Amino acid sequence: MMELIHLAVPVLLKGLWVTAALTFVSVLIGSNLGLGLALMRLSSNRLLSGFAKYYSNVFRGTPLLVQIFLFYYGLGQLPLIKDNAALWWVISDGARCAVLALALNTAAYTSEILRGGLMSVPVGLVEAAQACGMSRTLRFRRIEFPLAIRQALPAYGNELILVVKGTSLASTITVLEITGYAKRLMSQTFAIFEIFAIAGVLYLVINLLLIAIIRSIERFLMRHETSSRRVAAAPSSAAS
């Protein structure tokens, strides 16, 4: 048993960094794309909102595995991509391709979450900002986005965990991250349950860490509301 831990833990920790890197880069790209898509979806331009709607339906309606395979194996066939050096650079490597698929996939889910948040911003507040003469971008930066992100944060935390779990699919296109190493170790050592337990603990640690980060951001954003909320919540809970 100790031997196995000595053998498996360093290997899986190596995978942990790959998983963390895949998650970080995909979330970085995906959150920005998602914000853009959410804004497109809410714009009055029919073309923009239509594109964002179809984009999110297509990416949320197909399995991530299909998207990863389509990008990794499929796109390389198209002459358009073969001849473009930059696109070929992205497609030719498993890790870069996985990041591309994960980022585009999480962008679709993020756009839905942010759209919900933006739609929950009371119209009166936006009108008040307009009446104060705020420009469109200032209004978005100071009023709409901060309120929307407070609303959307808990759901976005769940989405982050889905991205962490999604990085495991990168192992199907030759990227060795936690799941990839775990599979290899399982077939080498036959200590299937032990390897699963160690890999599972690593994933649970990442997820708990992410939840803790999201919670602390939430507490930071809501810092001025905690006391008033508690007062507002008390009578209603007493009534029920």
Partner 1 sequence: MEFGLWQVWEAGWVPAILRGASITILVGLVSMAAGLVIGIVCGLIKWARIFPLSLLVDAYTSLVRGVPELLIIYLLFFSSVEFVTRVVTAFGYAGVAESGYAFVIAVIAIGAISGAYSTEVVRGALGAIPNGHIEAARALGLPGGRIFRRIIAPQMLRIAVPGINNVWQTTIKDTALVSVVGLQELMRISFIGANSTRHPFIFYLIAAVVYLLITLASQAGFDGIERLLRLRTRK
Q: What is the residue-wise DSSP string for 122-141? A: -HHHHHHHHHTT--HHHHII
- Interface ranges with partner 1 (CB under 8 A): 57-58, 60-67, 69-70, 73-75, 77-78, 161, 164-169, 171-172, 178-179, 182-183, 186-187, 190, 192-193, 196, 199-200, 203-204, 207, 240
Tokens read off for 186: 């399982």
Nearer to partner 1, 154 or 200 (CB): 200
Element housing 34 (H / E): helix 2-42
Q: Which of 190, 220 has the CB closer to partner 1?
A: 190
Minimum distance, C-beta of residue 138 to partner 1, in the bound complex (Å): 37
> Cα angle at 45 between 44 and 50, to 5 degrees?
105
Minimum gap (Å) between residue 69 Cβ and partner 1: 5
Q: Supply the minimum distance, in Å, between the C-beta of residue 70 and partner 1.
A: 4
Q: Cβ distance 105 to 59 under 8 Å?
A: yes
**Smaller CB separation from partner 1, 31 or 67:** 67
Smaller CB separation from partner 1, 147 or 160: 160
Element (H, E) at 42: helix 2-42
Q: Cα–Cα distance between 170 and 113 in angstroms, integer?
A: 24
